[in-house]
Amino acid sequence: MQAALLCFLPVALALATFTEKDYCNRQYCAWSPDLVLWCNHTSGILNLGKNIPVYNISLVNGTMTVGLYRAFDCFNESGSMLDSSKPKRSITLGQQYTLSDTRNKLTVFGCDTSALISDAAGTFGSGCFSYCREHIDFTTESACSGLGCCQTSIPKSLRSLNMSMSSSTNYTSVQSLSSCGSTFVVDQETFNVSIYKLPVPADMQKEVYSNAVLDWVVQRNLTCKEAQSNRSIYACGGANSNCSDFTNGQGYRCFCKPGYTGNPYASPGCQDIDECKDPRQYPCHGNCKNTPGNYTCNCPFGMTGDGKVGCQISRLAIVAAVIALPICGITSVALVIDKWRRTRKQKNFRRNGGQLLKHQRVQIFTEVELAKATNNYDDSNKLGEGGGFGSVYKGEIAGGTMVAVKKPKDVHKSLIKGDFQQELEIVMQINHKNVVKLHGICLETRIPLLVYEYISNGTLSQHIHRNTSTILRSWKNRLRIATEAALALEYMHSCAEPPIIHGDIKSVNILLDQNYSVKVSDFGTSVLISPEHSHVLANEIQGTWGYIDPEYLVTGMLTVKSDIYSFGAVLVELLTGKKPTHFITKSEESINIIHYFISSVKDKTLYNIINFEGASEDEMERVGMVAEIAVKCLDQSGARRPSMSEVAAQLTRINRELDGLTIEENNEYEVDEENLPSHSTSVICETSLLGRQALCFDQ
């Protein structure tokens, strides 16, 4: 039955180039050889070519879900690649098929796994690198966060793909990391990172498939106009179908007109949808009547408006209710008021984009739910101010989950759309373990409410400046916190699409959860930057004094290097315990802590500003290296500051060394020039504070 259903589409698409006898003998599932579909009529298995299984064919979207090989890169204890980790790594499709660039992503798993992709002609190349300090538990994750798993987009019009994998780790000396990585192309809509494990289990190191999506077309060498000029070969049948040229290459596809459904390629073709039978998909708040290709919806008596959008009580009905008050009593008025309130909430929901957002992967809360969760926004639940947008309250939703509700200020409605939609657009695309997650939104209020995960251990600022904190008594914890914050910023700068500039990095916006892991928060001043731009010209300077990039103050241009300067200020605060606005008196002269810190590092007098009491020599060495990174980040020229990828890589290496990895004394740090960012022109390595290892940055 499955094979019969799947074979119906290609038969409808096919040009009659084969006789029925040829079709049966060849076991083609399509009569056109360009579609290269084969089916086993006994087992019901459908294949693209002879070895790519087909799971689903969509007439509505013009897509096909298939299984593509996963590639593995596995090593044994001696450091040799296993023969079992050498499956097919090349994918070649027929002329009618293209890998969907909107649905698929190249995905890499491993603690030290690089993957590169290219087409058969070598006209493009791309890839990503997956790394981690320890084995990652994906069971609580919903998407690749950058640690143990990375993803990158694939280009348009791709019909062939070559995948290559490599590892930079010497597996004869490092056995604590996963020695088996994998890479594959996968459909993002069905991809679930929580089912994967590191190291890759033995039963997964076989030739297994991942679900990928192909775009298919009819007659790749023809456009709609060319095909319609010859009705004998035109594939779209019936009066209720439309032809659409393929936007990701040549060819065309057929679709049912709006208000119709069915198979646009074969008889009986597209049929009218009775919208009145499906009120969830086709809303109607009044009297519904089906029409060819559409439907009408009239509001009930006494109400006005577009019944598809919503109906409001007419003024006449309100007057009538007031006149009838002595007769109908207070109950009738209460019903009118309740109806008005529900209508207002529906209007706010639609105005705030509810029809679109309810189809996104975000929970929609009601106004009543959040008021109950926060005890009607009682002051005892207030966590603090969320930038210029409003206040943040602790709450408990159904099921006992703690959340942080960001309640906006009652500002003029002209200010609502930009602030709210900008922050929502940013946080909805972020998924990183060191960035606070969005639980959901409430759209029933005039200004929407954002609901974030609740972070229980306060801000980094509180831990630095209150003597009650014990977590920062360890240098190892301070450097780990710095590294996790850097990894979150690296994700926003390098992995998010489009890249994100946070715009207000400071210790108050770095939260610590129950495990004292970093959660970067507050995206009220964040911006998205398009690939063709390197900066955003701000209408007004935003941020916090002491953390603001001086170049941004002068030019008004916000760049990723502005975040790097702010991060450098946080490093100084984390190392010294002083706020960036703090001044130190020296020789009867007041000197800002930032300037004093920079001069102390350059003069090798860091001991004067940082308390190394109780620190080992190795810890002192690593703290000195982090101090030098901070100085690089605080360079007055943004062009000379390192990228956040470089900063995160340096801090990750320092943490690995503190975690006990082998450190070779008096040995310069080797720079892998092949893996430097593409824009690098040279590398400068500088001796660290105590003269042991070198820090390397792009220039």
Q: Both ends of the chain: CA-CA distance in Å?
A: 63
Rounded to 10 degrees, what is the CA torsion of 624, 626, 628, 629?
170
Main-chain phi, psi angles of 443, to 5 degrees: -110, 5
DSSP 299: P
| Structure tokens belonging to residue 519 | 């959660």
Find tokens 């189809």 and name the residue: 359
Give the separation between CA 466 and CA 640, rounded to whole angstroms.
34
Give the separation between CA 605 and CA 614, rounded to whole angstroms.
18
CB atoms within 10 A of CB 617: 10
Point out the catalytic residue in the list 504, 522, 549, 563.
504
Q: For residue 235, which of 519, 11, 23 has the smallest C-alpha distance?
A: 11
Which runs of consecutive H residues, i.e. helices, occur in 557-643? 560-576, 593-602, 617-633
Give the separation between CA 612 and CA 405, rounded to whole angstroms.
40
What is the pairing mode between strands 52-58 and 180-187? unpaired
For 424, 527, 543, 547, the CA distances from 536, given in Å and listed in that order, are: 18, 8, 14, 18
DSSP 491: I
Task: Compute the 3-state secondary structure of the chain and give helix, strand, coil in percent, each to the nearest 5.
Answer: 30, 25, 45
CA angle, 37 as apex, 32 and 41 as ends, to 5°?
Answer: 115
Q: Where are the beta strands (DSSP E) in 377-528?
A: 382-385, 390-396, 402-408, 438-442, 449-453, 500-501, 510-512, 518-520, 527-528
The answer to whether residue 504 is catalytic is: yes
Element (H, E) at 261: strand 260-262
* Number of alpha carbons in the 13 Å side-chain half-sphere of residue 487: 28
Q: For residue 167, which of 125, 206, 110 has the smallest C-alpha distance?
A: 110
Which residues form the catalytic set?
Answer: 504
